[in-house]
Amino acid sequence: MRITIRDVSEAAGVSFKTVSRVLNKERHVRPATRERVEAAMKALNFRPSYAARALAGARSFQIALIYDNPSPYYVHTIQMGVRARCLKDRIRMIVQPCDLTSPALAAEIGGLIDETHVDGVILAPPLGDIAAVTDELDRRGVAYVRIAPGDPTAAEERVTMDDAAAAALMMRHLIGFGHVRIGFINGPLDHVSAQRRLEGYRSALAEAAIAVDDALVVAGGFDFETGEAAAGALLDGATPPTAIFAGNDDMAAGALAAAHARGIAVPDALSIAGFDDIDLARAVWPPLTTIRQPIHALAYAAADLLLDTDEGDAAGAVPDYELVVRGSTGVCRMG
């Protein structure tokens, strides 16, 4: 049957409480005793029951990663980032995709907390901006960290980057090549990051004294299909853009497909730029110029913020975004 701390305590010749102490790295255990217990644990191949620890104690050694995001690359990167940090403390990560449009969303997340006893929650975009969700978490007093939320309040419990500035950076890059009619494929507006990126788009145009043409701003859903459709709408319009800036790389890839389908040469007749620098940006042709978002680092930092007891300033370690020029805009000639 299962090996318990009682088995370990017998093997080590101590009380089972001492084993518990060693397990929890508590102070006040003589080094020799500790070593004996650890040796016994190894010899018996002892593994503590997370269920029992959660039930008896105040912690469950589990955290939940919750998201509703249409980009597999993004989700995967977030998972890897959180996982990397969890591994350090032997914390289990409960991956929980959810449905943003469900009216029961907050209740479901609340239920998850109760059922699993998780010690904390990481909210991947755009969940950090859903008030119903954060309210539910606040009500329960569960610790949580939001990745890249748009809401400026509660600055201490989030890791973030400046989406507006990043988008403006890309826009200046495009404008620098002489583009005036630049289409923008925006993400869904319930992602606050999408709103911020749109702000950056607008401010950079204003900065260059280029009038904003609302017909050039179209909505997408952060995935390939909607990007393709949105780009199609732009390209089939009365006065199509000479460049398209997509709100993320999945949509940029869709835009490429739309251009190709219409026989529009990229980058000679049309520049396309993305945002995220997931692997997709390298997989498509021509290689996309994108804003590299430190997704993995953001996720790692979020987990760090949640797990760190000694208040290390994890957020400070998050690298900034950067513009990655890969030639699709760099060799652009005006259409």
Binding site for DNA (CB under 7 A): 1-2, 4-6, 14-18, 20-21, 23-24, 27-30, 33-34, 46, 48-49, 52-53, 55-59
> Does 77 engage in binding with its own copies (CB under 8 A)?
yes
Tell me whether residue 60 or residue 193 sits nearer to its own copies (CB atom): 60
Q: Which does 73 bind (CB under 5 to 8 A by kind): DNA, its own copies, none?
A: its own copies
The string over 124-161, giving b where at least 16 C-beta atoms fall within 10 Å of a residue's C-beta and e elsewhere, is bbbbbbbeebbebbeeeebbbbbbbbbeeeeeebbbbb
**Shortest approach of its own copies to residue 312 CB, angstroms?**
25
Over the window 24 to 63, marking each residue x when it contacts its own copies by CB under 8 A and - when it does not, the resulting string is ---------------------x-xxxxxx-xx----x---
E runs forming strands in the chain: 62-67, 92-97, 120-123, 143-147, 158-159, 182-186, 217-219, 243-246, 271-273, 290-292, 322-324
DSSP character at residue 329: T
Q: Which does 5 bind (CB under 5 to 8 A by kind): its own copies, DNA, none?
A: DNA
Q: Which residue has the tokens 């940090």?
A: 85
Tell me whether residue 160 or residue 290 sits nearer to its own copies (CB atom): 290
Tell me whether residue 35 or residue 268 sits nearer to DNA (CB atom): 35
Q: Which does 25 bind (CB under 5 to 8 A by kind): its own copies, DNA, none?
A: none
Tell me whether residue 46 or residue 144 sits nearer to DNA (CB atom): 46
**Shortest approach of DNA to residue 150 CB, angstroms?**
36
> Does 2 engage in binding with its own copies (CB under 8 A)?
yes
Q: What would you measure as the largest C-alpha separation in the chain, in angstroms?
A: 84
Please state, in angstroms and rounded to a whole number, the distance separating the CA atoms of residues 161 and 294. Answer: 9
Please state, in angstroms and rounded to a whole number, the distance separating the CA atoms of residues 132 and 130. Answer: 6
Tell me whether residue 53 or residue 196 sits nearer to DNA (CB atom): 53
Please state, in angstroms and rounded to a whole number, the distance separating the CA atoms of residues 148 and 5. Answer: 42
Please state, in angstroms and rounded to a whole number, the distance separating the CA atoms of residues 126 and 100. Answer: 9
Tell me whether residue 78 or residue 164 sits nearer to its own copies (CB atom): 78
3-state secondary structure of 236: coil
Tokens standing for residue 28: 């006040």
Q: Which residues of this protein are in contact with its own copies, per CB under 8 A?
A: 2-3, 45, 47-52, 54-55, 60, 72-73, 75-77, 79-80, 83, 92-95, 97, 107, 110-111, 114-117, 224, 250, 253-254, 256-257, 260, 279-280, 282-287
